[in-house]
Amino acid sequence: MEIHAFVPPADGKNHFQIGDFNFEIDEAQSGQGFDYSGALLITVVARTGDVERAVAAELLDDYEPTGEVKITIPALGIYKSDAPEGMLHFTEDKHEAPYLSINRERFHYTLKFSGDVIFKDGWVALLGQLKPSWSDQPVFAVTVYRKIDTAQLNWEEYCFTSVAEAAGAPVELVKKLVLTNPAFDRLPNEFYRLKALRNVEIMAKWPVKKIPLEWLDDKLLHLRELEHLVIVDSNLCRIPEYMNQLTKLKHCSFAGGNLSRVPAHLMDMPRLEYLNLNGNQLSEIAVFELPELKYLHLAKNQLKTLPENLLALPKIIKINAANNPFSFLPAAFSDFAGLELDIKSKQQLLDNTYKDADDNGPVNWNDESFFAQYDEALIKPVDEILQKEGLLQQREALRALVKKTISFKYSGEEDYAAIGNHRFGGMPDLPADVDYPVYYDDYRKEHYKYEFIAQVNCEALALLQEYLPEKGMLFFFLETMHNLGARDGHLPCKVLYVADNSTLQSGKRFSFGEQDFYELTDGQYAPYKADATVKNSVPGFYSWHVNQYLFRGVSKSLLQDEALLSNLYDIFEELVNRLLESDHEMNNYGFTQHHSPELQAALACKGNPEDWTILLTVKSRGDFSWGDAGDLFFVIHKSDLARKDFRRVYVTMESS
């Protein structure tokens, strides 16, 4: 690793050079401060007048180049009272321990920085090179020196990363301390002298699986300003008895430890909102007074039951109790929507009967209509794949899994020439007496429009399937991608059903801006028309082990051959799903790395996962971008679909 010499400019002026391009630093836009994690951020904005040559040399991005660039440099472990001091080495923009990432704007997208960031004598220096990851050319030497305005640094916002670093600062400055992979089994005495600490995190990170920390001394109770205490993946087996003396503590986690009991006074804390005891050895839990507790995590312990008085906590929202050997749960937990359990435990220990929005039980539906094996013409190419791939012995088991799916393919940009066509993005053809839906965001305390996702003409699909209404229109809306799943029983999407298409009016009449939505560029997604046809869909066998509910009846025999299940992607799944490419789909299988969308819906809203189906899958196409090129799923219970009741639709997303 090359060591770069620290030689600040002799004239004492800031300097910014990349290759043979000189830049002038914009002091007004450059600066220093701390981000939400407590890292020191140095921001340098600079400009070159040699724009055309810099673009031609592939130094600058060619998208509306102005010659201006911006580099944001994060730093930890560099506290010194008069000015930050230390060196961090970055490889392709990354510093591994602690993990930090340099952010560059308006440079050519292929370039990444490798080199040193040096803090010394009131300067910060960026010394190294910019080059592509996969090529030796072009290479640009980087030499940046900038004076730090130390008077602007409020070290109370800084995150200290070692006890030694924190011990070198005035006690009143040390508010946050994060220790990664420490070697001690007990906290050193210097730690307990940091009386102003508000936020403490001590954790293991790869390749370390567990840190040796075993005990928390009673001296912890002298840190009366603590609000956030996290100790993750440790050998912790003892915590102080009188935790309720930490009266300001709001967030506490001892996850991944060796606790076999917790002190009674941990369950008697006046301000605690979040408590994580996942992955310990707890065989029982008792709750006394936790008036502010919202989230309780007890997964992966040895609990045989849960006390019913957990439900009496006035602000409790979620209790994660999955992967415990429960033998009994009080019946009251059946009606608590915030209980997270595996589906098997819910079915065995609680009343998991699905009820509709009116609190009635499910109605009957024709399950055959959802599957392709009852359509001879549709299933024929699947049979041919089974024959070709030598899967005739498993023919009936695999055929029974195939769904009869509606496939949507874009047919062009939407011009609103037609009313009531299949549409993705843009604006909906709602009737005049149906208002465009809005919701209230509790966090921002504002009302926002729902994002319009799609409209689907059921009448145009009537000849292709039997599970949708025969007439009318379905309209799909989403609050925002940031609100998914089910929160406190709230489902952050809206699906409207209009039974009479003659009442529709063109969506062209709606005109909204970005300010009307929580986060939606241009006030809408780019609109596209779509054509529909029918196709086959098979499960994603990647996650078969967590979605075993899929293998029912004749398909259950597949669970006896794990080698086959692991191989089905290449010889069955990919071949069937490639028979017809889709932009979006209905009644399909959605690929997930873990729980299927149907299982997620059942866990959140009750019922058996096989009784839920994906009403609509919206893939990342055009302006739609769900996470990292993922898929958005609207999921409905088959009973509600049979009722034509779309008030309770679950929405989730899968993204890599």
The full set of domain ranges for the chain reads 15-153, 156-349, 370-654
pLDDT of residue 1: 54
Rounded average pLDDT over 162-168: 94
Give 355's pLDDT tier (boundaries 50, 70, 90). confident
Q: pTM to 2 decimals?
A: 0.80
Give 63's pLDDT tier (boundaries 50, 70, 90). confident
pLDDT of residue 312: 93
Reference 615, options 579, 592, 646; nearest CA is 646
Dist. CA 362–CA 648, nearest whole Å: 13
Reference 14, options 88, 86, 71; nearest CA is 71
pLDDT of residue 81: 86
Task: Please compute, for residue 333, the number of CA atoms within 13 A of its CA located in the half-sphere on the CB side.
Answer: 23
Reference 307, options 321, 322, 287, 326; nearest CA is 287
Domain formed by 370-654, architecture: Roll (2.30)
Dist. CA 618–CA 255, nearest whole Å: 36
Reference 57, options 141, 146, 127, 143; nearest CA is 141
pLDDT higher than threshold 90 for residue 196: yes
Q: Say whether domain 156-349 belongs to CATH 3.40.190.10.
A: no
Dist. CA 229–CA 200, nearest whole Å: 5
C-beta separation of 338 from 316 below 8 A: yes
pLDDT of residue 159: 97
SS3 504: strand
Dist. CA 206–CA 481, nearest whole Å: 30
pLDDT tens, 465-493?
999 999 999 999 999 998 887 666 788 99
pLDDT of residue 490: 83
C-beta separation of 122 from 83 below 8 A: yes
Give 190's pLDDT tier (boundaries 50, 70, 90). very high
pLDDT, the chain, mean: 94
Reference 653, options 610, 593, 585, 611; nearest CA is 593
Give 293's pLDDT tier (boundaries 50, 70, 90). very high
pLDDT tens, 101-124?
999 999 999 999 999 999 999 999
Reference 68, options 50, 53, 51, 46; nearest CA is 46
H, E, C per residue of 592-615: CCCCCHHHHHHHHHCCCHHHEEEE
pLDDT tens, 402-454?
999 999 999 999 999 999 999 999 999 999 999 999 999 988 999 999 999 99
Give 361's pLDDT tier (boundaries 50, 70, 90). confident
Give 64's pLDDT tier (boundaries 50, 70, 90). confident
pLDDT tens, 573-621?
999 999 999 999 999 999 999 999 999 999 999 999 999 999 999 999 9
Contacts (Cβ under 8 Å, ≥6 apart) of 585: 405, 406, 407, 408, 535, 537, 614, 616, 617, 619
